[in-house]
Structures are given as structure tokens and as C-alpha cells.
A and B are shown apart, each in its own frame.
Chain A
Amino acid sequence: MTNIPVNAVDVSNLTVKFGDFIAVNNISFSVEKGEIFGFLGANGAGKTTTIRVLCGLLLPTSGKVKVSDVTYEQGIEAIKAKVGYMSQKFTLYNDLSIHENFAFTASLRKIPSDTLKRRTKELLEFIGFSKPMNTLVRDLPGGIKQQVSLAASILHDPEIIFLDEPTAGVTPVARARFWALIKQLAKDGKTIFVTTHYMDEAEQCGRIALMRTGKIIALDGPENLKKTTFPEPIIELNPKGTIPSELIEQLRINKAVDSIDSYGMKYHLIIKDPQEWNQLSINIAPYFVIRQIPPSLEDVFIRLVEGVTR
């Protein structure tokens, strides 16, 4: 008998409506076991709504959802048993200690006490937690709160973990540490589904889905996305000094140029006509340091999103 690999998550034609407002509009995708799947998009694009459906926290208006081989028809409880969830408000009780929070989470999921002891030890080691267990959560620094929150959400050792903006408002060092943990979990065979605003985190995902106004406008690995969105390289223009303001506008309407956007102090320019560009680049050379750069996910994001609005 052939072993057909089972996806961790299967979503087909999922729509979620709140009254007349369509939050999620007929999306379909799958997440493989052991993948780190990233979900990007602006606030209100439908990311959190989708995650809530996948966790069993929100009923779909229509469509089919299968999470770890369990569908909605089999009951929300079955879905909830299989997943771990860390919400945006990264929900621990501020007025309880870490030990008390873990004990409570364990009681919610009916984890026996010896398992709890073992898991607690493993998880605290895993996140490198060295403070005493009876510290109140509100006395912990922000980055550590995040990690403890993660630990609590996987106390019951779920196969799939949903993280909704887990690193919001956390230092870059703490973020890096957090993602090291995520990657370790993936290596151990867990499937991670994470939403984020940070492009550098998106780069670390196996595949990314880009959501905008309830639809998925792109779904692929980071590198593929860059290649497909920018078949042509991106040109970076670094002004040598002050440049006349009309110059950018002139470049924008120039037939060699597809688009030009400011990027901090610099500009990213996308070529429409390579031959015309060669001539143009010589003309503007006095004003800018010109070089080709590989596209970043940010470029991809802006392009795709702009593309939808235009």
C-alpha cells in the first residue's frame, strides 16, 4: 500500500463572513507536515480570522477545513485537541506565576501531573528559562513573556502550532531567539503556521501566503516569489547629493521605467524596457550611484499589493 503523505492543513474554498463583511474570501491552500508556513498581510487582511478558523475558534461560513486529518464535521473539540495556539494578546495571566499558568493550561487540556512535570522541565530548558517558576508573569521582560507563552501553548505537545504575530513588540535579539526555537520545533517534525509583519521572519519560512482583503494573492517559497515577481532585477538608485525634485517624476513617466518607489533615502526602480534603460542609466549616472540588487520580500510585497490595487 502506497503511503500518501497527509497534509497538516487542508483548506478549500474557505469563506468567513461577519454580517455583510467578507473577512476571508474563498481561499484554498495546504500546509505540509513539518513546514514553517508564513502568513503575511496588512491588518484586516484576514490573517487572524483564518488562523482562528484553523484553530477551531471561529466557524467558517462556507468551505472545507481539515486540520491534522480532522474536519469541522467531526467537531471543534477534535480540532482543538490537536493544535497549539498562541494569540496576538499572547495570553498568559499577568497576575499568576509561570508555574500557576502552566498548571492551569495543563488542567484545561487534562495533562496528567507527571507529564506536566516532565514537559515543564523540557520546555523551560528548550527556551533557556532560568528564572524561578514562581515569578509572576507581569514581572517578566517582554521577550521572555513571549517565549513562556510559546512554551505554554505547546505544553500538550501538539503536532501543529498556530502563532499569531508572536514577536510583536519584542527586541530583535529576542526575535531571533524565538525563531531559533521555531526552527528547532520544525526540525522535530512539528508544523508551524505563523503570521508576521516582519520580512526577515518571512524569509525564514518554507512557504509564504500573502493575504489582501480576504484573498490570497500569492503563495510560494520566498525565493520563488522573488523570482516570479521580479523576473528583471531591481535597480537601486542612491542619490549622490541633492537631486532636483522633478527628476523622480520624470523617471516615473519615462517609458523605460515600470515603477520607481522610494526606499528610505534611496529609490528602487523596476525596468520596463531593458534597452531604453541602458541609455537612461547613463543619463542619470551623475545623480545616482546605480547598482542592481536582488529583490527583497518587501519589494515583492509592495509590488503584489500595489498590483492588486492598481
Chain B
Amino acid sequence: MKLLNFVTVLGFLKKEFVQVLRDPRMRIILMVIPMMQMSVFGLAISTEVKNIKLGTIYNPNDSVFRRIEERSFSSKWFIPAIGRGTLNDLNSDPLEQIRSGRADAVLISPPGGITKAIERGEGTVQLLIDASNVIRAQSIERYMQSIINEVIRDEFHIVAPTPINFDVRILYNPALESAIFMVPGTMAMILCIVTILLTSMSIAREKEMGTFEMIISAPVKTWEVLLGKTIPFILIGLINAASIYMLAIIVFKVPMKGLYWQLAMATLAFIITTVSIGTLISTFAKNQQQAMMGGFIFLFLSNLLAGIMFPLDNMPLIMKTAAYMNPMTYFVKLLRNIMLKGGSPELVWTYVGILVAMAMFTATVSYKRFHHTLD
């Protein structure tokens, strides 16, 4: 068997690196911006609902209600609504408060106060919630319910447990902190922007500039061109990943319960897959603009369908299928599992295998689509 000659591939590597790194602005985009994004999104994004503006309508004599209100504002969840008044103040029409955005929810005491209402046997407190944001609405109800449960316990000294009780243990994230959960998703999003955009535009750029013609006027083999055009970006992606991981683990104290080689393997698989997809896009694109649009569509769809922002389990079958054909879905699961749960081998090998299969599939199609002639 002839020994494979990597001269051409090496030549490509040199050229691509020189081109990419020569432009100082490109250097910033590749190295600095992902770190910046990690910092911003790592600190900013959480699914936890806080600072909920709570309006209250009650009679000043209603001591129980006051206790509920105190508890709410001293919890980390609720803050007073903007410009809240009392029942007699016209400004405090609850509907108006919510519509204008001064309050996210309004808690209304029963007429005569809670204590009297309980004596009547109808101790109902009404909670009006702005349900235009479903996520917030769900949380608001839950939080308020737990506050009221606490107040009930304290006010009415109920000691005896109900017949059936649950001993609840929350695993992996006992405090239900959301930042930790979000970081893997954010990392995945940041990583693949660079790989997809660089690779998808790379071949399209050469076609537009005319240098592609020059390349295929030489007797180069497809694998030489494809490897030459993908390896540099894989390396750049890996360096990116390393810096993002360091930032996340050291600065944001994201746990790393699993093994580093698992992380490395998963990252490599994902980067190779996204670079492969970018290359595939560039075999379809005739110019840079089309490559960009293709890259954008892929990025947008994969970001939305990766289980980062919305739960995948509840999607209709078609969408779920699409989500399970999305490499980002698997990478996010891998990151979460490896970093937060310690990396169950069964899961890690399965998902890495799936990513590798995707990479091989897209690489094969790119290979077949690569023309050595100008058509």
C-alpha cells in the first residue's frame, strides 16, 4: 500500500493558520470573544425566577397576610411592586398594576382579613399572575405556595404530619442552582459558532476569490483538501474549548465530577462533527453569502433544538426526531452528564459514538460532493 503523503495536508494547514491568524480582528474573534461570551452568559443566564414584583391588596389589620407579605419579600424571590398602594388607593387596581408591568403578580386578601375568613371556613387568598410569561407564572405560583405552606406551619403550629409523606432528595444540584445547569448549554452554543462559521465560509471564500480553481488545477486528492481545510479549524475549536472550560471551572466554579479524558473525548467528537457539517454546507454554497445563510440556519435550529432553552421531552415527535439528529443535543447531554453527574460510562460512550457516526456521515457526503472540476 502506498504511504500516504501528507505534504499537501501540511501545506494547507500552514496556509489556513497563517490566513486566519494574520488578521488581528480575526484573532480577537477567535480567542477573546468566546471568553467574553462565556463570562457574560455564564454570569447572566439562569432559569431561576427572581425579583418578582409582587403587589399586595389587604387591610392593614390583617396580621396573617402581613406575615405572608413579610415572608415573601424576605425570600430571595419577591420584591415589592412599583408604586404599590392600599386597597383604597385607585392606583392599586390589580389588573392595572399587572398590565402596566408594575407588578408581575398581585396577592389579594379575602374580605375582612384572613383570620376572619378562616373562621368562616373560606380562607382563600387570591393570587393574580401575569401569565404572559409561562415560565415565570409557573414559578410564581410554586414559590407563593411554599411561602404560604411555611406560614401555615408557623401560624397554626401543625405538627402532625399527614398520613402520606415524601422524603424528597434532590440529586446533583441540591440547591437547585440554575447557573450550573445552564453553563454546559452555553458552552456548547459558544463553541459551535466559531467552528461552523469558519468552515462553512472557508471553501466558499476560495470559490469566490478564484483560488479554488487554482487548487483543483493541481492533481490533489479530495481527502487532502478536506483534511487540509478541516484540521486547522478543529485545532482552533479545541483551543477555544480549553479556554472556555478553564474559565467555567476555575472562575465560575462549575463542578467537574467526571474524568477529564471523557470531557476531551466528547469535545473532540463534537468539534469534529460541527467542522464536518460546516464543510458540508460549504460544498453546497456557491458564495460566501450562501455559506453564511446555511451556517446561520443550522446554528439557529440547533441552538433551539438542543434542550438548552426548552425541554425536549415534550416536543411533538417530528421535532423530537429533529432534535435527536442534532449533534448539539448530544454534546449538551454529555457535558451535563460528565460535569454534573460524574460521567456515566454507558451514556458517555453511547453519545460519543453517535457524534462520531454523525461526523463520519457528513464527512462521507462532503467527500462525495467534492468536485475536482468546475461545474
Contacts and interface: CB of A to CB of B under 8 A. Distances in A.
Task: State if A and B touch, Cβ cutoff 8 Å.
Answer: yes
A185 interface: no
A91 B211 contact: yes
B373 A57 contact: yes
A85 B216 CA distance: 10
Interface in B6-25: 7-8, 10-12, 14-15, 18-19, 22-23
A277 interface: no
B164 interface: no
A80 B221 CA distance: 12
Contacts of A76: 219, 372-373
B163 interface: no
Contact of B213 (A78, A89, A100): A89
A58 B375 CA distance: 7
A83 B219 CA distance: 10
A187 interface: no
Interface string B193-233: 00000000000000001110111111110000000000000
Nearest to B215: A108
Contacts of B211: 91-93
A104 B210 contact: no
Contacts, number: 79
A96 B19 CA distance: 7
Q: How large is the interface on B (under 10, 10 to 19, 20 to 34, 35 or more residues)?
A: 20 to 34
A117 interface: no
Contacts of B373: 56-59, 76
Interface string B120-139: 00000000000000000000
A87 B217 CA distance: 10
B155 to A, nearest CB: 74
B5 interface: yes
Contacts of A232: none
A59 B372 CA distance: 10
A109 interface: yes
A96 B15 contact: yes
B374 interface: yes
Contacts of B220: 108
Contacts of B15: 93, 96, 100, 104
Interface in B357-375: 372-375
Interface string A170-191: 0000000000000000000000
Contact of A107 (B11, B213, B217): B11
Contact of B214 (A52, A58, A87): A87
Interface string A96-116: 100010011111111000000
Contacts of A109: 218-219
A103 B14 CA distance: 9
Contact of A110 (B8, B22, B213, B374): B8
A95 interface: yes
A85 B212 CA distance: 13
A81 interface: yes
B328 to A, nearest CB: 32
Contact of A91 (B18, B22, B213): B213
Contacts of A276: none
A33 to B, nearest CB: 21
Nearest to B211: A91
Interface of B: 5, 7-8, 10-12, 14-15, 18-19, 22-23, 209-211, 213-220, 372-375
Interface of A: 52, 55-59, 76-78, 80-81, 83, 85, 87-89, 91-93, 95-96, 100, 103-110
Given A78-B219, A107-B8, 17 more contacts: A56-B373, A57-B373, A58-B375, A76-B372, A80-B216, A80-B217, A91-B210, A92-B211, A103-B14, A104-B15, A105-B214, A105-B218, A106-B11, A107-B10, A108-B215, A108-B218, A110-B8
8 contacts: A57-B216, A58-B373, A80-B216, A80-B219, A91-B210, A107-B12, A107-B14, A108-B8
